[in-house]
Structure 1
Amino acid sequence: MFLNLLLIFVPIAFFLEFTNANGTLIFAASALAILPLAGWMGRATEELAARAGSTIGGLLNATFGNATELIIAFFALQAGKIEVVKASIIGSILGNLLLVMGLAVFLGGLKFRTQRFNIQSAGLVTSMLTLSVIALLVPTVFDLAARQTEAAGLVERLDVNLSDATAVVLILLYVANIVFSLVTHKDVLSTADEEGEEHGPNWSVLRAVGVLLGATILVGFMSEFLVGSLEVATRSFGLSEFFVGLILIPIIGNAAEHAAAVLFALRNKMDLAMTIALGSTVQVALLVAPLLVLASLLIGSPMSLVVSPIEMVAVFAAVIIANSVVRDGETNWLEGALLLGVYVLIGSAVFFYPA
């Protein structure tokens, strides 16, 4: 696998970090090292899921699906780069809905005239996604309204309080979603693709756990190096931290997942491709974002879920077009091109957005 060749950047990143090399080189090496490590984390999780059964396996996949991005965001949170963390949350939602789904639909559509998927399953996920994104944006609307009547200092404290309450609600919704998907209605949401893809484990439990722990630890180190060199690298590349958080970090953190969705689409398994793109987005909104909010309290650097107007508009646009694509249960290459076009437009706006 091509990504495995990038493992050479793991020792390179350690060498550059501990020899106090140029920050730009550390950033580049760490980013490249994270790509294959994320892939190995995903492979180890799949092996454990194959042994644990569908219910526990689904929970494992849900838990570790966005682990790489969560680790990167946690170290950014520790470094006080709160705006980068919030941008990475929004960027992950945009990346999954527009880039991942767009590539899968576009490339699959070039090979197959029309691709179909379980409309009931996709519809339930998009409904959950719409509700969760609205919940994420409530603090932003609250902030805009409260600033009309209250002092900025008080509003910021209220923003944090509201975000904490929102985080708890979202985690409860995540638990409800897991129970619904894996227990009470798993027969409704199952697909022929999923049944055809089931396979026995190829690794022992010890090997899978060892790989998962080892990859997670290395991702932690790479994330710390990445965040520590972020400021130098952004200046060197002429990029804003906003662009890095919204565009680059989500792509780096979810590269292996992105590739899997496209490969399933090329095999005409659009059910699985949609599950990856939409399911990962729901995980970010219902689990990753609230966990980071609660973690910020423990770190002593409280983070609210208030985002910039451009982020708010971008998320609404992504959810609207994603809903329009999945509503009829089939896709073609033009719909994929539309999703990618919206992503490029948003990426361009963020690139030119004043630092």
Structure 2
Amino acid sequence: MHMNTYSEATTSQLPIPPTMDEDLENNTEVCDGNNAMTPMVRKKSELVVVANNNSRLQMLRNFMTNLQEVFFGTKLVVLFPAVPLAVVANFYSFGRPWIFAFSLLGLAPLAERVSFLTEQIAYFTGPTVGGLLNATCGNATEMIIALLALHQNKVHVVKLSLLGSILSNLLLVLGSSLLCGGLANLKREQRYDRKQADVNSLLLLLGLLCHLLPLLFKYALGGGDHSIATSTLQLSRASSVVMLLAYAAYIFFQLKTHRKLFDAQEVDDDEEKAVIGFWSAFTWLVGMTLVISLLSEYVVGTIEAASDSWGISVSFISIILLPIVGNAAEHAGSIIFAYKNKLDISLGVAMGSATQISMFVVPLSVVVAWIMGIRMDLDFSLLETGCLAFTIIITAFTLQDGTSHYMKGVILTLCYIVIGACFFVLKTPLIGQSPKASFGVKPSFEAITT
């Protein structure tokens, strides 16, 4: 009896093993739990895949949007095929005039799109910095052509193309803007802030003085022997350093001390927004600058061949054709703003670009040539310097009263046409071989051909 009681007590304390039915139920629950976890893991992986696909689609969508805005957002899109045609013509060694023609046509839409991209960047950098960036990148074509021409020791092309850019901005771009703006606003008085125009006029007059002094210095000493040429070169380099210092002071004046004076030209329009992002615009800007460099190299390398083939002087091509292509962006933008009766912006674009060429790009070219061991001075010869002086003086007189009408635009545009006709009919040697003349010394015109 004691044995039975002990065995029952012991049996009651031991755990009862599960039955077969209970094992089946437990296994079913475990399986159900595993099946419940599997869809959760699958859903997470599917979300990651969907997110990656969405991000790729978004990147592709953004790229297509940027492509459409950059390439098809301009009426000059019809000229974009000239870019690959120029590359193909150079690769297969077509005629050099064809390479020059395709390169020149391809530069026009690229220059306009560079201006568009800098405007997009300006929405993120602020109006004043954006305007300065726009003026700088708007002159990218001229600067690249000048540096490549210096690399090939074609100093005459550098001088003529930069001179032509100043003339084009002050007479053609500004003149056509005042003309179109006056015709579009016949019943409205067009006014602008004289302060900004006065600052640019003073800088242009300083640049004109720096161009005149080497010319007058050479004429005053009566010839072009080696010692006089060396003195003229030294004077030009010293003047170039002064011009760069003046331009640096102008930048400080524009961005720091008198920023409000230049902010007045900006557009206060809430509807205008950036259509592409900052980094997208920057990437496209770098890419187009590289393409401009390639086409500019083609232009510089084939300009003499095109001149001989077409029967047009290098002077006319450099002073008239190249600046018209390079200033396509400024020309279009300035006319549009003048049409909207926003003359402060038109003046800022045209005169700001001319000031930057005169006070920054020209002296910078002299300094770079100095570093490269190339003898480039500020003597642009008598005819070219005279045209520059006349252009700056008539522009300053035109803008002295703070008002505008279409007649002012007519006068400036006709002045540009007359200067263009002058260089079209002029058949002279290159600047380095130009006839020497001096005051008190009988000039020789034997080198001039008819």
Shorter chain as denominator, the TM-score bin is: over 0.9
Moved more, 264-273 or 124-133: 124-133
1:267 aligns with: 340
Identity %: 37
1:121 aligns with: 196
Moved more, 205-214 or 49-58: 49-58
Equivalent-residue separation in structure 2 for 1:139 and 1:70 (angstroms): 23
Structure 1 35/46 Cα, relative in aligned 2: closer, same or farther at 3 Å? same
Residue 190 of structure 1, CA deviation: 2.9
* Residue in structure 1 matching 2:208, options 94, 111, 133: 133
Structure 2 contact 194–401 (Cα < 8 Å) conserved: yes
Mapping 1:59-138, distance limit 5 Å: 59-113=132-186, 114-138=189-213
* Residue in structure 1 matching 2:231, options 152, 155, 158: 158
Structure 2 contact 177–338 (Cα < 8 Å) conserved: yes
Residue 173 of structure 1, CA deviation: 0.8
Amino acid at match of 2:211: L
Q: Does 1:39 align with 2:132?
A: no
1:218 aligns with: 291
Structure 2 contact 150–158 (Cα < 8 Å) conserved: yes
Q: Deviations over 1:39-82 (max 9, x none)?
A: 12112222222212234324422432311111112212222221
Structure 1 contact 121–188 (Cα < 8 Å) conserved: yes
TM-score between the two structures when normalised by the length of structure 2: 0.75
Q: Deviations over 1:159-195 (max 9, x none)?
A: 2221111111111111111111121011133326533
Deviating above 6 A after TM superposition, structure 1's stretches of 4 or more consecutive aligned residues are none
Amino acid at match of 2:222: R
Residue 198 of structure 1, CA deviation: 9.1
Larger radius of gyration: 2
Structure 1 contact 40–211 (Cα < 8 Å) conserved: no
Mapping 1:209-248, distance limit 5 Å: 209-248=282-321
Residue 36 of structure 1, CA deviation: 1.0
Structure 2 contact 155–376 (Cα < 8 Å) conserved: yes
Structure 2 contact 265–345 (Cα < 8 Å) conserved: no
Aligned length: 353
Structure 1 contact 72–227 (Cα < 8 Å) conserved: yes
Q: Does 1:345 align with 2:418?
A: yes
1:283 aligns with: 356
Equivalent-residue separation in structure 2 for 1:257 and 1:321 (angstroms): 20
Equivalent-residue separation in structure 1 for 2:418 and 2:75 (angstroms): 30
Equivalent-residue separation in structure 2 for 1:185 and 1:125 (angstroms): 14
Structure 1 193/56 Cα, relative in aligned 2: closer, same or farther at 3 Å? closer
Structure 1 contact 104–336 (Cα < 8 Å) conserved: yes
Listed as ranges, the gaps of 5+ residues in structure 1 are none
Listed as ranges, the gaps of 5+ residues in structure 2 are 1-73, 429-450
Amino acid at match of 2:252: V
TM-score between the two structures when normalised by the length of structure 1: 0.94
Equivalent-residue separation in structure 2 for 1:79 and 1:161 (angstroms): 22
Q: Does 1:147 align with 2:241?
A: no
Q: Deviations over 1:278-328 (max 9, x none)?
A: 111100011110111112123332211101111111111111110111111
Structure 1 94/6 Cα, relative in aligned 2: closer, same or farther at 3 Å? same
Equivalent-residue separation in structure 2 for 1:264 and 1:55 (angstroms): 17
Residue 200 of structure 1, CA deviation: 4.2
Equivalent-residue separation in structure 2 for 1:212 and 1:155 (angstroms): 44
Structure 2 contact 111–138 (Cα < 8 Å) conserved: no
Q: Which structure features the higher share of helix residues?
A: 1
SS at match of 1:109: helix
SS at match of 1:303: coil
Moved more, 123-132 or 29-38: 123-132
2:18 aligns with: none
* Residue in structure 2 matching 1:19, options 72, 89, 92: 92
| Bigger RCO of structures 1 and 2 (CA < 8 A, at least 6 apart) | 1
